[in-house]
Structure 1
């Protein structure tokens, strides 16, 4: 009796569907950053398990590259440091968004084109990744979609990205010390603070922080907005002691101001402050009641109305504006 010959396979046949999935995963991995072959294989095995690549993984990876190039016209190039980068998605530009979203994308590109914005490089990189996924004809239409102009003041100085990153990492976590270029001193001053938040205002990036110690007694025990570009980057020191879960309460003032009919009669006034409530009168004027934690900012905003705004309270703000007006009168007095 003749025994049937056993068929010796060459190993487990890999699923074609899994291979396609692996190759599409490579594209998404390239979106994150360029990588060496060893990094790509290791990341793939972490994502799918050890069996995603056979023992001769480099050969299989080379087949994956060729398939992406031949089947989808992707451009994968080797960089001088040995890593590979996906420079063109070819037929995988699948993000064919509608016209209104393309217009929104063009708006974001224009808005974050100014490098003085915080995180502008990261945001622009994100937008570039989105644009790269658009079909070529949609990319060409992107510039023509922008029809909203943005007029905002821009800072004449730039922010150290490493400084900004360190501030972000330590918000509400650790107390920090730094040297600060204040308008009230010719020399940098040391401040010790609890960093609370970062925010943008009138073209500048600010760190709002609770001041523990500074050369000015008036700032201690208060929340102070520090312009980030005035912090000396190499002077920043992060303390090891963790901040308490809750920072000290913020002092708040009740604002009350009257706007003339010239700016209020259309009942479309700007609400600049939290908890704003508006009362309109028959003569067209309006009275606004609101809250603020920053009298200096409140003065800057309300002075924009010039003679069309009268601040009624708090008395501290009324006095600040009186002093400002007197100094301006002296400045312009001939």
Structure 2
């Protein structure tokens, strides 16, 4: 009886060790796939990342040999394409049989829409979004990728900016939103020379094909902009002039000025009772003659003017008086332009 126990014990331990070693190897190889999704890497980087993710025992002392075996296994068992680049890094260029993201038709259509939306244009983070979509598409089986191309049947018409946004400038702005005051030189439409501005950055937004930095203006050459929230076009900020102040911004910035807005739309625009609600807290009253009256709020009279002028003769602004005056001035200037 003792002899049988003595023989059975090492055999049982050896079996468990083999199972554990095999499971770790499979886990390590699947981890390599996910690591390659993040981007190319050198063998040393792959081994170091694996040991940080698991522990030092994930690769044996002869780690380079084991990594080479992992590459061969992924190539042979899953038909993955792993290629060495000129800089010495390795990249996964085809997932082979590991294209397991088999989306349903509805989600494939949504993916096609996003691909079309970010196929061109100066979107903030546009390159990163397209890279993300490429990673998702690479995980689709070949037949679903073919279906994706067939799904791209929606044209999206958006204005395109003729200027590009400096990606490093955009990154610096994003890191300091609501954190640090900024100083920069700005190419304003009111001056032929760059102007110095000092602001508290609040948010980045995309509007009419341009990327804007919305910021509270502390100082500028124009007294009318000081103490107000101003949308600065990012492509007009001179990148090398951007200076980040060390002092942290207070947790609460000054409140925005908000105007009550009231305007009338003609029956030609409103009779179908499907008018667009452009502004916060909008409420619509439809009249028997087919016209409509909208009350809302806005914190940007300039943008409100741009929106409401799109209705041309089919819109009349009733409040606030400041916006009525702005539109009258604009109409007079347009009349002078077309009188020539």
Scaled by the length of structure 2, the TM-score of the pair is: 0.94
Aligned residue runs from structure 1 range 71-110, under 5 A: 71-110=77-116
How far does residue 7 in structure 1 lie from its aligned partner after superposition? 7.8
Q: Does the aligned pair in 1 maintain the 2:259–2:320 contact within 8 Å?
A: yes
How far does residue 186 in structure 1 lie from its aligned partner after superposition? 0.4
Q: Secondary structure at the match of 1:39?
A: helix
Structure-2 residue corresponding to 1:137: 143
Structure-2 residue corresponding to 1:299: 305
Structure-1 residue corresponding to 2:291: 285
Q: 1:252 to 1:7 in 2, by over 3 A?
A: closer
d(CA) in 2 for partners of 1:37, 1:200: 41
Q: Does the aligned pair in 2 maintain the 1:115–1:121 contact within 8 Å?
A: no
How far does residue 50 in structure 1 lie from its aligned partner after superposition? 1.6
d(CA) in 2 for partners of 1:61, 1:46: 16
Q: Secondary structure at the match of 1:138?
A: helix
Scaled by the length of structure 1, the TM-score of the pair is: 0.95
Structure-2 residue corresponding to 1:328: 334
Q: Does the aligned pair in 1 maintain the 2:116–2:154 contact within 8 Å?
A: no
Q: Secondary structure at the match of 2:129?
A: helix
Q: Please give the per-residue CA displacement for 1:9-68, whole angstroms capped at 9, x wherever unaligned.
A: 8xx544312211110110000000111111111111111112211111111111111100
Task: Confirm whether residue 35 of structure 1 aligns to residue 41 of structure 2.
Answer: yes
Q: Secondary structure at the match of 1:86?
A: strand
Tell me the C-alpha RMSD between the 2 structures.
1.8
Q: Does the aligned pair in 1 maintain the 2:121–2:161 contact within 8 Å?
A: no
Which residues of structure 2 form unaligned runs of 5+?
Answer: none
Q: Does the aligned pair in 1 maintain the 2:260–2:296 contact within 8 Å?
A: yes
Structure-2 residue corresponding to 1:184: 190
Task: Confirm whether residue 220 of structure 1 aligns to residue 187 of structure 2.
Answer: no
In the alignment, which of 202, 212, 218 is matched to residue 196 of structure 1? 202
Q: Give the number of equivalent residue pairs.
A: 331
d(CA) in 1 for partners of 2:116, 2:250: 40
Aligned residue runs from structure 1 range 56-67, under 5 A: 56-67=62-73
d(CA) in 1 for partners of 2:144, 2:239: 41
How far does residue 288 in structure 1 lie from its aligned partner after superposition? 0.4
How far does residue 231 in structure 1 lie from its aligned partner after superposition? 0.6
Q: Does the aligned pair in 1 maintain the 2:183–2:196 contact within 8 Å?
A: yes
Structure-2 residue corresponding to 1:251: 257
Q: Please give the per-residue CA displacement for 1:71-110, whole angstroms capped at 9, x wherever unaligned.
A: 0000111112221110110000001111221111111111
Task: Confirm whether residue 276 of structure 1 aligns to residue 282 of structure 2.
Answer: yes
Which residues of structure 1 form unaligned runs of 5+?
Answer: none
Q: Please give the per-residue CA displacement for 1:172-201, whole angstroms capped at 9, x wherever unaligned.
A: 000011110001100011100000000011
How far does residue 115 in structure 1 lie from its aligned partner after superposition? 4.2
Q: Does the aligned pair in 2 maintain the 1:174–1:195 contact within 8 Å?
A: yes
d(CA) in 2 for partners of 1:284, 1:81: 68
Name the stretch that deviates more: 152-161 or 14-23.
14-23
Q: Does the aligned pair in 1 maintain the 2:84–2:90 contact within 8 Å?
A: yes
How far does residue 148 in structure 1 lie from its aligned partner after superposition? 1.8
How far does residue 214 in structure 1 lie from its aligned partner after superposition? 0.5
How far does residue 169 in structure 1 lie from its aligned partner after superposition? 0.6
How far does residue 117 in structure 1 lie from its aligned partner after superposition? 1.2
Name the stretch that deviates more: 306-315 or 38-47.
38-47
Q: Secondary structure at the match of 2:160?
A: coil
- Whichever structure has more helix as a proportion of its residues is 2
Q: Secondary structure at the match of 2:205?
A: strand
Structure-1 residue corresponding to 2:168: 162
Structure-1 residue corresponding to 2:316: 310
Name the stretch that deviates more: 280-289 or 44-53.
44-53
